[in-house]
Amino acid sequence: MSATTPTYAFAYLDEQTKRMIRRAILKAITIPGYQVPFASREMPMPYGWGTGGVQVTASIIGPNDVLKVIDQGADDTTNAVSIRAFFERTAGVATTTRTTEATIVQTRHRVPETPLAEGQTIVFQVPIPEPLRFLEPRETETRVMHALEEYGLMHVKLYEDIARHGHIATTYAYPVKVEGRYVMDPSPIPKFDNPKMHRSPALQLFGAGREKRIYAVPPYTEVVSLDFEDHPFRIQSFDRPCALCGADDVYLDEVVTDDRGGRMFVCSDTDHCEDRRAKGFTGEQVHQEAAE
Amino acid sequence: MYIAVKGGEAAIRNAHRLLDDRRRSDRSVPALTLDQIVGQMALAVDRVMAEGSLYDQELAAMALRQARGDMIEAIFLLRAYRTTLPRFAAARPLDTFRMRIERRISAVYKDIPGGQLLGPTFDYTHRLIEPAMADDPPVDEPMRRLSEAENCPRVTDILGAEGLIEADGQAGSDGEPGDLTRDTLDFPISRDVRLQALARGDEGFLLALGYSTQRGYGRTHPFVGEIRIGLVDVEVELPEVGFPVGIGRIRVTECQMVNQFKGSAKEPPQFTRGYGLVFGQSERKAMAMSLVDRALRADEFDEERTAPAQDEEFVISHSDNVQATGFVEHLKLPHYVDFQAELDLVRRMRREQERPREETESVQEAAE
């Protein structure tokens, strides 16, 4: 038996597919926060593992782009490694771990700490693009709710949190309103990252492969986290700085160091942390070692 | 000292190397050939082709071998390849009337023109593991029919001649079938797209849903009008030549379920249809598909939609096993950023819960 040998295009997707996705992206940019349906393809990685982000990146990337891929803020998490290797293999593009060097940043669950600049594009991997999904499971219903700008249900949910807990109990995938119109799911980033989206000079694209939706926040667009006048939106704060670089204005990962309750807190954004340490900033772990 | 974990790249490489090793297993045992898989694991190949929605036995066999026999993984491999292929034409509707039949049964008539033909079926076998099958015992040549079989009329056509069953649905105005792999799903969807989704859908999921209609969750009173399995010609219309041209022959299983219908203001009492068509030999899938197809047509017959199997958005959104397995399994990806946020919230809420108690306790102490 002679088997067919498969061949693939630049960045895997065929040109017709890229054109279809680019059209969806353009539409998304013109209607900030609106979820544009697109004919998502089967990708050679599983649904739920970044197929939407990968399709968006594959459609916008060119041979001169420099790509950074992060998962949980880190460049070396296994799925980030896998996606970066995918583009190295299928598009032969340069890759980097440095936020400032990248033209495209594909991310899962974080926005880099280093502010993004004009000309950069950040591509978010989105599992469930519909912010109203857990309040209303039917697509046919939620579409109407968006069309009529009927977001009362979401405010009721947030209010119920306050009534029950004294504060809003949503910590990630915290809903935002884009340019005063569409309520949007910022993807499961911690709410700590929400303010970074507001009036960002970078283009922000969101791809949900399994759910077949693309949406966008163009540069310098209003992105406001939902809240109430007497319960304003607040981000998480940590009561200690990063143990490695001493940063106190960043999102931290809690690392379990032993089985006797030992914990330490370090930057979730590995590039930011390395960059700071290279510049001579140090955290408590380094101080302790110096003392020993 | 804590050092951020590096080396994901090397770990992945080594994991895949180990996977290769496990797939090949004992090197002194000859590797499976594609012919062996296509010939002796034919129904596994059929299922991979059906749910991978690509009719290619060799590729399906390669996928199965590469996936170590994991069906959904093999289906996924085939799908990811299929999606890159150009679409150059839509075939004409298969003419199953002219099928070269290997098996054909009807449960609604004792005898039918063309006869009942059991064919290669597990039905009526006793499910006893044959100790002799541990080796390779000689197998008898099959009986063969002496004359070329004639075309068999479909049972639904026999009922249709009497006007007792609804007519076959009509294709859309342009005659072009929808394609959910190229267009966005937009609920409610048309029946052609629904049937496409069901034909690609997970056998187990459709089986369970079909079963649920039999147990009262959206009852449809089904009878197997006919199941036929065999080879059919695939034809495409080429504008250059002006007539249909055969491009190949594929094996399919077709199931026409005949369901009761009391009639409505618009329609007289008559039987209705549930339809199943699947690549290869897969009676279970074709039957389940036709049960679910009929259940999903509830609105057409003014039936109340109360059961899961009647809910189009529910059924079609969850029938694809490649989507389902991806999203279920993505839970094993790192989620520690979000978990950190939740951890922080739980700690804070517990602190807040404990604070009033401590305050009351200290007030009591002061009073004592």
Chain A residues touching residue B335 (CB < 8 angstroms)? 72, 109, 188
- Report the distance separating Cα A270 and Cα A63, nearest Å: 26
- Specify burial of residue B173 (Cβ count, 10 A radius: 0-12, 13-18, 19+): exposed
Contact status of A169 with chain B (Cβ, < 8 Å): yes
pLDDT surpasses 50 at A217:
yes
Q: Phi and psi at residue A23, in whole multiples of 5°?
A: -60, -45
| Confidence band for A32, pLDDT divided at 50, 70 and 90 | very high
Cα B69 to its chain centre, rounded Å, is 17
Least CB-CB distance to B338: which of A44, A109, A252?
A109
Q: Tell me, what's the ipTM?
A: 0.85
Q: Residue B226: enclosing H or E segment and its boundaries?
A: strand B222-237
Chain A's closest residue to B60, CA to CA, is: A3
> Within 13 Å of residue B296, how many CA atoms lie on the same side as its CB?
29
pLDDT in tens, A7-23: 678 999 999 999 999 99
Q: How many residues does chain A have?
A: 292
Q: Per-residue pLDDT tens for A51-99?
A: 999 999 999 999 999 999 999 999 989 899 999 999 999 999 999 999 9
| CB-closest option in B58, B326, B336 to A49 | B326
Q: Judged by CB atoms within 8 Å, which residues 184-243 of B form the interface with A?
A: 184-188
**pLDDT of B353 over the 50 cut:** yes
Which of A43, A49, A81 is the closest to B8 by Cβ? A81
Mean pLDDT of A174-200: 97
At B89, phi and psi to the nearest 5?
-165, 160
Which of A4, A45, A171 is best to mutate for the B interface (most B CBs within 10 A)? A171
Residues 215-254 of A with CB under 8 A from B: 236, 243-244, 251-254
Q: Does B333 touch chain A (CB under 8 A)?
A: yes
Give per-residue pLDDT as tens, B295-322.
999 999 889 999 999 999 999 999 999 9
| pLDDT score for B173 | 62
Active-site annotation holder among A53, A207, A246, A273: A273
What is the band of B217 on the pLDDT scale with cuts at 50, 70, 90?
A: very high
pLDDT on residue B197: 97
| Mean pLDDT comparison of A110-114, B93-97, B186-190, highest-scoring range | A110-114
Give CA–CA dist B173/A218, Å, rounded: 40
pLDDT for A163 equals: 92
Residue B114 to residues A121, B111, B152, B228, B232: CA-CA distances in angstroms? 65, 9, 5, 12, 17
Q: Chain A: nearest CA to B325, how far in angstroms? A: 8
Identify the pLDDT of residue B265.
76
Average pLDDT of the residues of chain B: 90
Domain ranges of chain B: 8-82, 96-121+143-169+178-319
- The reply to whether residue A255 touches residue B79, judged by beta carbons under 8 angstroms, is no
- Cβ distance B344 to A236 less than 8 Å, yes or no, reads yes
Is the bond into A32 cis (omega within 30 degrees of 0)?
no
**CA of B12 vs chain A CAs: smallest distance (Å):** 7
**Average pLDDT in chain A:** 94
Q: Identify the band that residue B3 occupies on the pLDDT scale cut at 50, 70 and 90.
A: low
| Touching B: A residues 85-104, CB under 8 Å | 85
**Alpha-carbon distance A193 to nearest alpha carbon in chain B (angstroms):** 11
> What's the confidence (pLDDT) of residue A195?
98
pLDDT at residue B190, as a whole number: 92
Average of per-residue pLDDT across A107-114: 97
Q: pLDDT above 90 covers what percent of chain B?
A: 70
B234 HSE (CA, 13 A, CB side) = 11
For residue A227, is pLDDT > 60?
Answer: yes
Q: What is the pTM of this model?
A: 0.89
Locus of tokens 């010939």: B39
Q: What is the residue-wise DSSP string for chain A? A: --------BTTBS-HHHHHHHHHHHHHHHHSTT--EE--PPP-SS-TTSSHHHHHHHHHH--TT-EEEEEETTBSSSHHHHHHHHHHHHHH--EE-S-GGG-SEEEEES---SSPP-TT-EEEEE-S---TTTTT---HHHHHHHHHTT--HHHHHHHHHHHHHHSS----BS--EEETTTEEE---S-BGGGHHHHTT-SSEEEEEETTTTEEEEE-TT--EEE--BTTB-------SS--TTT--SSS-EEEEE-SSSS-EEEEES-HHHHHHHHHTT---HHHHHHHH-
What digits encode the pLDDT tens for the residues B100-120?
999 999 999 988 888 899 999
Which of A52, A242, A246, A283 is flagged as catalytic?
Answer: A242
Backbone angles phi, psi at B25, to 5 degrees: 50, -140
For residue A71, the chain B residue with the least C-alpha distance is B334
A152 is catalytic: no
Which of A33, A53, A207, A283 is an active site residue?
A33
CB spacing of B186 vs A37 below 8 angstroms:
yes
Q: What's the start-to-end Cα distance of chain B, in Å?
A: 49
Query: What's the residue count for chain B?
Result: 368
Residue A2 has pLDDT above 90, yes or no: no
What is the percent of chain A where pLDDT is above 90?
Answer: 87
How does residue B365 score in pLDDT terms, banded at 50, 70 and 90?
Answer: low
B170: pLDDT strictly greater than 70: yes
Q: Are strands A121-125 and B272-279 parallel, antiparallel or unpaired?
A: unpaired
**Interior angle at CA B288, CA B283 and CA B292, nearest 5:** 150
Q: Which amino acid is at B177?
A: P
